Amino acid sequence: MTLLWCVVSLYFYGILQSDASERCDDWGLDTMRQIQVFEDEPARIKCPLFEHFLKFNYSTAHSAGLTLIWYWTRQDRDLEEPINFRLPENRISKEKDVLWFRPTLLNDTGNYTCMLRNTTYCSKVAFPLEVVQKDSCFNSPMKLPVHKLYIEYGIQRITCPNVDGYFPSSVKPTITWYMGCYKIQNFNNVIPEGMNLSFLIALISNNGNYTCVVTYPENGRTFHLTRTLTVKVVGSPKNAVPPVIHSPNDHVVYEKEPGEELLIPCTVYFSFLMDSRNEVWWTIDGKKPDDITIDVTINESISHSRTEDETRTQILSIKKVTSEDLKRSYVCHARSAKGEVAKAAKVKQKGNRCGNDESLSSKLTLW
């Protein structure tokens, strides 16, 4: 068997070497598709050629006489080598456009390449696969997806992710849910319902990592799939409001002498809104700061509440303000999916009783 594998490997490597002299559409290493899987668990990985790079699927390619070939480069190695599909119990196998591990081992970490070819056509792409370890509380270097729940918004659910295709619909797996290290059982407002986990009323205390462990049989063996995601409770759309400008306001007057530094904060509160783009900007005499000749700098800071409401502060700074600068209109603007608002700062020269207050309303312009 060892001799046969060596012969097959040399033959395969000869194909790869001959391919090197032929033209092949090489999409390189797709680092955006870095795949992480847990050690000692099944993993199924679809060739990304058909998902992201080619306009036809595997069935069409197979019908046209194209062959899908898999090979890999071990971690910290440069040599491409064929994948051994003759391991005991078919630990690694290929089924159509899917590479299977039943189960993974730590030394499976590396860059994997799928190549679609015949005598006249060739296309290939590589992607990194990382096999990671977890502890008894499911902690690991795995990058976790984040699922956001609205606070006090009625019943909401999360679903055990990325388990499709591992077992047929006729198989009824066992699913166990955990919050952190604790099995979810008799929780007040969290109820396991098979692949789903229901939150009756989401609260800040529900923030954390949730893990589903899916156990299923296959060919006399038992496999486990571990999936962890982070739940973040955020502000409810029922309570969302348009942006609120806290500064500038009608209670503060920025009174300066020529030559002094002028600092005006634009501080805006934004309710959390899913996928909303929050914006804050200044205008000076109706123009953006970049479009005027005065020496002005703007620095921004952002903070978030526990429910991801956002506060943005943009500080407008003029190091040595002139008497002309003290007559200008400085307006803070803000926009979100809920609307747009603006507020002018009260700026005047010391000893000037009127300043520019009388012209504020006429100069306040939405950009």
The answer to whether residues 223 and 246 belong to one domain is no
- Is it the case that residue 312 has pLDDT exceeding 90? yes
Helix (H, G, I), strand (E, B), or coil: what is residue 302?
Answer: strand
- Report whether pLDDT(366) > 70: no
Tell me, yes or no, whether 154 and 124 share the same domain: no
- Measure the CA–CA gap between 19 and 22, rounded to whole angstroms: 5
Higher pLDDT, 57 or 291: 291
Decide if 258 contacts 354 (C-beta within 8 A): no
DSSP codes of every residue in 328-349:
S-EEEEEEETTEEEEEE-EEEE
What six digits make up the tokens of 133?
């370890």
Residues 352 and 274 reside in one and the same domain: yes
For residues 283 and 304, state if they share a domain.
Answer: yes
Tell me whether residue 139 is in a domain: no
What pLDDT shows up at residue 3?
41
Q: Is 307 found in the same domain as 219? A: no
In this prediction, residues 356-363 reach a mean pLDDT of 44
Tokens representing residue 264 in the block: 């005006």
Q: Given this model, what pLDDT does residue 60 score? A: 87
Query: Domain total for the chain?
Result: 3
CB atoms within 10 A of CB 188: 9
Task: Say what the pLDDT of residue 365 is.
Answer: 42
Confidence of residue 286 (pLDDT cuts 50, 70, 90): very high
Sign of CA dihedral 292, 293, 296, 300: positive
Q: Are residues 118 and 59 in the same domain?
A: yes
Hunting for tokens 């659910």 — which residue is that? 157
Within a domain: 60: yes
Q: Taking a C-beta distance cutoff of 8 angstroms, is the pair 48, 30 a contact?
A: yes
In which band, very low, low, confident or very high, does the pLDDT at 18 lie, cut at 50, 70 and 90? very low
**Of 201, 234, 267, which marks where a domain is finished?**
234
Of 103 and 356, more confident: 103
CA angle 139/140/146 to nearest 5° reads: 80
Return the bridge partners of 245, or none.
Answer: 268
- On whether residue 140 sits in a domain, the answer given is no
Residue 279 pLDDT > 70: yes
Measured between alpha carbons, how far is 144 from 209 in angstroms, rounded to an integer?
A: 9
From 103, 132, 161, the end of a domain falls on 132
Cα angle 249-252-255, degrees, rounded to a multiple of 5:
130
Say yes or no: 219 and 326 in one domain: no
Asked whether residue 102 is domain-assigned, the answer is yes
Whether residue 15 is predicted with pLDDT greater than 50 in this model: the reply is no
Query: Within this chain, do residues 246 and 230 fall inside the same structural domain, yes or no?
Result: no
Q: Does residue 19 register a pLDDT over 60?
A: no
pLDDT at residue 28 is higher than 70: yes
Domain hosting 359: range is 240-363
The residues, any chain, with a CB within 8 Å of residue 165's CB and separated by 6 or more, are: 44, 98
**Does 47 or 54 have the greater pLDDT score?**
47
User: What single-letter amino acid sits at 210?
Assistant: Y
- 64 and 35 inside one domain: yes
In the chain, pLDDT over 70 holds for what percent of residues? 90
Q: How confident is the model at residue 295 (pLDDT cuts 50, 70, 90)?
A: very high
Q: Which residue has the higher pLDDT, 152 or 351?
A: 152
What's the chain's average pLDDT? 89
In tens, the pLDDT along 65-104 reads 889 999 999 998 889 999 999 998 899 999 999 999 999 9
Distance CA 302, CA 311 (A): 6
Q: Please determine, for residue 55, whether its predicted confidence score (pLDDT) is greater than 90.
A: no
pLDDT above 60 (res 21)? no
Q: What pLDDT, on the 0 to 100 scale, is given for residue 58? A: 86
Residue 335 within a domain: yes
Would the pLDDT of 24 be above 70?
A: yes
Residue 67 has a CB neighbour count (10 Å cut-off) of: 10
Note the Cα 87 to chain centre separation in Å: 36
Examine the domain organization and report whether 175 and 97 are in the same domain.
Answer: no
**Rounded average pLDDT over 29-58:** 87
Question: How is residue 130 written in tokens?
Answer: 């990382």
Q: CA-CA distance, 297 to 342, in Å (whole number)? A: 20
Q: Are residues 82 and 200 in the same domain?
A: no
Residue 62 — pLDDT band, cuts 50, 70, 90?
confident
Q: Which residues pair with 155 in a beta bridge?
A: none
Q: Is residue 345 part of a domain?
A: yes
- 138 found inside a domain: no
What is the average per-residue pLDDT within 188-192?
95
Mean pLDDT on 211-237: 97
Residue 55 lies in a domain: yes
Q: Which residues contact 216 (CB under 8 A, 6 or more apart)?
A: 166, 167, 171, 173, 174, 222, 223, 225
Q: Say if residue 349's pLDDT is above 60.
A: yes
Q: What is the DSSP string of 191-257?
A: EEETTEEEESS--GGG-EEEEEEEEEEETTEEEEEEEEEEEEEE--GGG--S-EEEES-TT-EEEE-
Listed residues 132, 162, 193: the one ending a domain: 132
Q: What pLDDT, on a 0 to 100 scale, did the predictor assign at position 20?
A: 42
Do residues 274 and 223 both lie within one domain? no
Q: Enumerate residues 6+ apart whose C-beta is below 8 A from 128.
A: 29, 31, 33, 34, 35, 110, 111, 112
- Decide if 83 contacts 70 (C-beta within 8 A): yes
Residue 352 pLDDT: 61
CATH number at residue 126: 2.60.40.10
pLDDT reading at 177 higher than 60: yes
Angle (CA) 302-147-280 rounded to 5° is 25
pLDDT at 11 over 60: no
Mean pLDDT across 344-358: 73
Distance (Å, whole) CA 239 – CA 258: 45
